[in-house]
Amino acid sequence: MRDRPATIQREMSDLASQLDQALKDGHLLESSRTNIDLLLRGSASPVAEAAVTELAAAGQWEELNDRFFKTLAFGTGGLRGRTIGRVVTGAEQGKGGPNERPEHPCAGTATMNFFNVSRAVRGLIRYAKRHVGSSRRPKLVFAHDTRHFSRDFAEFCAKTAAELGCDAYLFESGRATPELSFAVRDLRADAGVVLTASHNPAHDNGFKAYFNEGAQIVEPHASAIIAEVNALDSEIFEPLPASEQGTVTTIGADLDRRYMDRLKSLLMRPELLEGSKTRVVYTNLHGVGGVIIVPLLRELGFEVITVPEQDIQDGRFPTVESPNPENGPALKMAVDLADKEKAEIVIGTDPDNDRMGVAVRDGAGKMRLLTGNQIGSLMAWYRAKTAFEIGWLNDTTRARALFVKTYVTTELQRAIADHYGIGVVDTLTGFKYIAEKLRKYEDAIPADKKGVDYRSLDEATTRTLRLEYSRFFLFGGEESYGYLGCDFVRDKDGNGAAVMFAEVAAYAKSIGKTIADLLDDIFTQFGYHEERGKSLVMEGADGASKIQALAGSYSVQPPEEVDGSKVSRIRDFATQDLFDEEGDALPKEKMLFVDLEDGRSFAVRPSGTEPKIKFYLFGKDSPAEDLAASKAKVSAALDSLWSAIEADAKARMA
């Protein structure tokens, strides 16, 4: 512990007595009391002590419990939590920061601040150095979005990496999460980090870690990195001697260009875009998506109009309630502009540009918001159909092609795949599992066929290799607006999704149809499929406990009948030994999937990134000419199903 003057020691003693009394009176959780001491011992900033003292003096015990009820453990996705408290102390506010944020992130062991970011990056560095060995310095890449403190955290991480003997690469300004994935692969780096909380509220931030494949960390690396991070209980460290330190290199435009050129290879029929002049309204929702999407779509021949008020990179996300393209209100300004400018489609991406939402103009001239399942199915259908038309696939090779999707993504994509005779593999929720499949398919190619470096091969060459020796990933995605159509990025990619969807739009225009028409054609051919995403939000320490209890209750007391229909099958991913379509064992995850005899189904799982428990509802009807009747039938059935699930959840929490 640092030496403290006598006056400060007395103040700390007074604070300790106050906290002990609050614990005795039942105001402060025992874990909070322990973790406050942990932070005060391990913080390098006097702000932590001052903030805790202020909150205790004001009797803000609920705020202290929310900040300290746990340590922000490094999981397989990294860290995510509040960086601005519900109550902002005077010490944290300080002089203030850009975009009306406080000067300092909120103190806490369950929050995003330099205490936790330091632990996370140093643990990652420790493992990277061990993995690389003593022959060279590890290479780490750091990116960030527009959130409060994202740039500060990224610069801190790069500086820390260099001081501890690594070569760091830091983007010159905000970049998309998928470009970080590309950069790790392109630079042949050993690990990477993007500072983002994706589409979470403005008060959150996160630390998202990637390993040398350019994908989020999975086993066997995950457990080892987590152990290194969680073993650290202080942000204080000693830099190596100057002669042993690494360097910090700024990256930007050159890497952007390589990434954009590679993204163009996603186009299957680029001639469709010649002279199409499709008018697109794009919004980055105050994030980083405009860095790549706007110039790239313009290079491809699209007329791109942006929303001026939302072009501004601002971590407050001031023009939207939530910077999430899954939510219709987030795209309202873009839709209004599209109506004014007579644009055909609206594209919106979240702050770190890994998710993409879309609105399209239907035959009646109205803008229609599409769901993530509908957007993904349109691209999956187009890519499967076109792959045969242009010769990527044929009767001989179709068996090696596949879609990879998550279990909670629409089964419409399976119906499409079955029609074209290609495979489907389901994974657990999280794009890291889709990326792990891509690694498996790359590794299956014989080493002598890959040449010196697989990553330097163009898409046509790798496609030929995958079709001959492995499996060809044609498209992948998850219902939460994440999509991927290549293997040179190993995460969901809003940039690539914009390119793929723009081609679908150009195709629709070339045959005199709207995208809404195409979607209805798909429903008519394969049957109407509808999905609903619902959630129950429970914040703070008490909320976290309720979420876990509710999630656990489905394993202990699984439903036998729901909404008048008997349960035909239950898959409990937390307790059962389950395997995917390729025979690979699935990691244990808190998710329960319930199939009903009447064809409906639902899944329930606690969110790994937000204070909510999620419910996924699925309904479908057989192919029918009367599509309107099918839609009404399935929609009513899902309304009824949600009412039953919601009532049951409330009863389980009573």
Catalytic residues, which ones?
Answer: 198
Indicate the DSSP class of residue 115: H
- Distance between alpha carbon 175 and the CA centroid of its chain, in Å? 15
Spell out the residues 6+ positions from residue 441 whose beta carbon is closer than 8 angstroms to its own: 466, 470, 471, 472, 473, 487
Peptide bond into 611 cis (omega under 30): no
Rounded CA separation 91/212 (Å): 39
In SS3 terms, 258-288 reads as HHHHHHHHHCCCHHHHCCCCCEEEEECCCCC
In SS3 terms, 117-178 reads as HHHHHHHHHHHHHHHHCCCCCCEEEEEECCCCCHHHHHHHHHHHHHHCCCEEEEECCCCCHH
Q: Taking the CA atoms of 120, 125, 126 and 127 in sequence, report the sign of the dihedral they define.
A: positive
Instruction: Please give the structure tokens belonging to residue 596.
Output: 């009903």
- B/e letters for 343-363, b = 16+ CB within 10 Å, e = fewer, are bbbbbbbbbbbbbbbbbbbee
Rounded CA separation 442/641 (Å): 41
Rounded CA separation 325/370 (Å): 10
Contacts made by residues 23-28, CB under 8 angstroms, sequence distance 24+: 27/59, 27/61, 28/61, 28/64, 28/65
Q: Taking the CA atoms of 109, 111, 113 and 118 in sequence, report the sign of the dihedral they define.
A: positive
Rounded CA separation 505/346 (Å): 11
Question: Residue 303: which H helix or E strand, with range?
Answer: strand 303-306
